Amino acid sequence: MKTYSVTDIGQKRKMNQDYVYCNEGAVGMLPNLFIVADGMGGHNAGDFASRFAVEEFVRQVSGGREKTLIKTMEEAVHRANQMLLEQAAARPELEGMGTTFVAATINGEDMYVANIGDSRLYLISGEEITQVTQDHSLVEEMIRRGEIKREEGRFHPNKNVITRAMGANVLVVPDFFEVRLMAGDFILLCSDGLSNMMDDHEIFSVIKSHGEDVAAAGARLLHLANEYGGRDNISIVLVGT
């Protein structure tokens, strides 16, 4: 397994509200753990939300006693969400904060994914790139209803309106996915600072063109997202199996 992770402020924002976590080693009963979170909220609230949610999730996983990987991740999500809400209630300057959250762990040939919001996980396998997660966003709902075409979504004025986030409600409902992997597959977790600046085909081309060098591929993705305008914070976790 080879990994690369980076988070960058981009070209337009004054603060980086993204947070990444990349650990090839065991975290509690999880064999490894990869996370991208994209915070939201005024002042430093978004920055606090993403970092706190990830750190609390990792803490919960580290001490978790659930019997399955999915149950471990699910319980950690709910507990981290509860703790995030308690922080917002106790500190007025954090009111209204929230964060997207996408996490993955790889156990042999199987990958388990949890997702809330519009940060994404892609699988690059053979000659295909597949978005495993489904965006919890207003634009994604419009696409599913046939109101706009998918290629219009990246440029829609409401593309940043999300419909689920950690810290937004007492009951947070993550999506879970189980994916069978093959040797040579790549897994990309990213915030919308990347996916809004590059289409899936270009992301695929960059990763495939660098072979097994995930560091070079990840660095190139970051460079291009900034070159194309860097309108948001950019976070990338790239894993080669």
Tens digit of each residue's pLDDT (9 = 90 or more) over 187-226: 999 999 999 999 999 999 999 999 999 999 999 999 999 9
β-pairing, 186-190 with 234-240? antiparallel
Distance CA 166, CA 173 (A): 9
Q: The whole model's pTM is what?
A: 0.93
Left (φ > 0), alpha (ψ -120 to 50) or beta: where does 5 sit? Answer: beta
pLDDT over threshold 80, residue 239: yes
| Residue with the larger pLDDT of the pair 51 and 140 | 51
What is the CA 84 to chain-centroid distance, rounded?
Answer: 18
Check residue 231 and give its pLDDT.
Answer: 93
Rounded to the nearest 10 degrees, the angle between the axes of helix 69-90 and helix 45-62 is: 140
Distance CA 3, CA 17 (A): 22
Percent of the chain clearing pLDDT 90 (strictly above): 81
What is the CA 219 to chain-centroid distance, rounded?
Answer: 17
Sheet holding 128-131, edge to edge: 2-8, 234-240, 186-190, 120-125, 128-131
Tens digit of each residue's pLDDT (9 = 90 or more) over 116-169: 999 999 999 999 999 999 998 767 677 776 767 766 666 666 667 788 899 988
Which phi and psi (to 5°) does residue 72 adopt? Answer: -60, -45
Q: Which two tokens stand for residue 205?
A: 């081309």
Virtual torsion, Cα 173, 28, 63, 178, nearest 10 deg: 20
Check residue 163 and give its pLDDT.
Answer: 87
CA-based max dimension of the chain: 50
